[in-house]
A = this chain, B = another copy of it.
Amino acid sequence: MRKVAESTIRRLSLYLRLLEEFEGQGIATVSSGALAGRGGTTSAQVRKDLSFFGSFGKRGLGYPVLELVAHLRGILGLDRRYRVAMIGAGKIGSALVQYRGFRQRGFDVAAIFDVDPAKIGKAWNGLTVQDIAALEEVVKAEKVDMAVVATPPDVAQPIADRLVALGIKAILNFAPVQITVPDDVVVKTVNLALELETLSYALTNR
C-alpha cells in the first residue's frame, strides 16, 4: 500500500467530498462514472485510484456510499482530529485561524504564535497569541500534531527546523520559500504568488 501518487490522494479527498454530498442526498450506491463526472476525471481513474487500497465496489452495481465514505476517511486518516499550531499571526494566519473549513474537517487550531509584542497576548478566536519563544514548551503541552507556517520568508526555515526538532512530522507552509526538512517530515507549500504566476503564464501564452 506504500507509494501511492500524491495526485491519487488529492482525488481521494475530492471523491470523499462528493460522496458526503451523495450521502446527504440519501443516495445509497454510486458508480465510478458518477463519481468521475462531478470530480473532473474519468471512471477508469476512479476505479484505479480506489484499487490501490482495496476493492470496495460490487460489479454490476457500483460502490456503497456509506461504506466508501468510511473507507476513504480511514485511508486519509480523517477518522480522528488533529491539533494544529499556527505560526505567524499576520494576515494569512488570521484568516486561516478563523476559517471554519479546517475545524469542520477535523483540524483544530491548538495554539497561535508570533514574534510581534503588539500581537502577543491578544485573544484570537478564543485563543491567546503566544510568544514564539514559548514554541517548544507550548507545542509539547498542547500535544500538537501539525504546524502551519505563515511567517515572512526569512524565518520560515529556522521555524521549520525548530518544529522538526520538536518531532512535528507535517508542516503546511504558506511562506513563499522552499523549506528543507528530513525525509520523514512532510511539507506542503502553498505559494499564492506562484499560483497567480501560472495564471499569468496561461494568459500570456494563448
* A residues apposed to B, CB below 8 Å: 1-2, 6, 9-10, 12-14, 17, 38-40, 75-78, 82, 84, 91-92, 94-96, 98-99, 101-102, 104-107, 145-146, 169-172, 176, 178, 180, 184, 186, 188, 190-206
CA distance A89 to B145 in the complex (A): 31
Complex contact B197–A76 (CB within 8 A): yes
| Interface residues of chain A: helix, strand, loop or mixed (majority) | helix
Complex contact A76–B201 (CB within 8 A): yes
CA distance A202 to B82 in the complex (A): 13
For A205, what are the chain B residues with a Cβ–Cβ distance below 8 Å?
Answer: 1-2, 77
Residue of B nearest to A98 (CB): B91
- Residue among A102, A188, A196 having the largest count of chain B Cβ atoms under 10 Å: A196
